[in-house]
Amino acid sequence: MLNEGEAIASTLTPLQKDRSQGVELIVVDGGSSDNSCELALPLTDQLLHAPPGRARQMNLGAAHARGELLLFLHADSRLPENYLQLLVAATAGRQQCWGRFNVRLSGEKWLFRVIETMMNWRSRLSGICTGDQAIFLSAPLWQRCGGFPQQPLMEDIELSRRLKRYGSPLAIRPPLVTSSRRWEENGTLRTIVLMWRLRLLYFFGVSAETLSRQYR
């Protein structure tokens, strides 16, 4: 998380019931200047601090995790209520596995339904999972693939490329809900064009550092 005071409590509160079943909640803050840490502290097993950067933060959280299965959740995303049962069913009997949830955007605009459908189909066809789909993978596989690459953007795409060497991703259909604020604040069509442009440039070899400057 980074300055997620408005969202972090609503993300963590529904997960509290699962801590008694062995779910370990680790929050990694990237230098928040609001009340994010104060709100998250009583709702987490570990509150860690790292320099800002999703890859850096998620790698730190994974390094401190004790579980057999890792799940990376953005602070503005909410898992389905029965996510734990869905994960157990999807990964049962699999020693090395990885995957993601389908995603639903929080906004009510009809165009958001189109965007989320395209996101889910893109992942299904390409085998590439993005961070807002809550990537999960077994701890042994995490060790084998080396974690998220230390780059400022497209770290989820690069991780997916590494993981595809070990098998195709699992897709859990009941969706998580992720915030649509990026599209609402910056313009829906403008954001669609920007994201597709960045992905295309990355596909053709433009560095993540260059793309990060354009994205910011």
- 158's tokens: 């690069």
Check residue 206 and give its pLDDT: 87
93-102, 126-135, 141-150, 190-199 — which is least confidently predicted? Answer: 190-199
The Cβ-side half-sphere exposure at 206, using a 13 Å CA radius, reads 15
Instruction: Tell me the pLDDT band of 100, cut-offs 50, 70 and 90.
Output: very high
Parse the chain into domains and list their residue ranges. Answer: 1-67, 72-179
103 vs 204: CA distance, rounded Å: 26
Check residue 116 and give its pLDDT: 95
The strand pairing partners of 101, in sequence order, are: 172
Signed CA dihedral, 211, 161, 79, 191: sign only:
positive
Instruction: Tell me the pLDDT band of 9, cut-offs 50, 70 and 90.
Output: very high
66 in Cβ contact with 45 (< 8 Å) = no
Query: Mean pLDDT, to the nearest integer, of 137-164?
Result: 94
Q: Does domain 72-179 have CATH number 3.90.550.10?
A: yes
3 vs 81: CA distance, rounded Å: 25
Query: Of all residues in the chain, what percent carry a pLDDT higher than 90?
Result: 82
Q: Does the pLDDT of residue 173 top 90, yes or no?
A: yes
Angle at 59 between CA 61 and CA 39, to 5 degrees: 35
79 vs 176: CA distance, rounded Å: 4
- 40's tokens: 């998250």
Check residue 212 and give its pLDDT: 84
Q: Which of 101, 92, 182, 89 is nearest to 136 (CA)?
A: 101
176 in Cβ contact with 134 (< 8 Å) = yes
172 vs 180: CA distance, rounded Å: 20
Query: Mean pLDDT, to the nearest integer, of 12-22?
Result: 94
Q: What is the CA radius of gyration of the chain?
A: 17
The continuous run of DSSP H or E covering 28 comes out as strand 26-29
Q: Does the pLDDT of residue 17 top 80, yes or no?
A: yes
Query: DSSP letter string over 34-69?
Result: SSHHHHHGGG-SEEEE--S-HHHHHHHHHHH--SSE
Query: Mean pLDDT, to the nearest integer, of 7-35?
Result: 96
Neighbours of 88 (CB within 10 A): 11
Q: Does the pLDDT of residue 33 top 90, yes or no?
A: yes
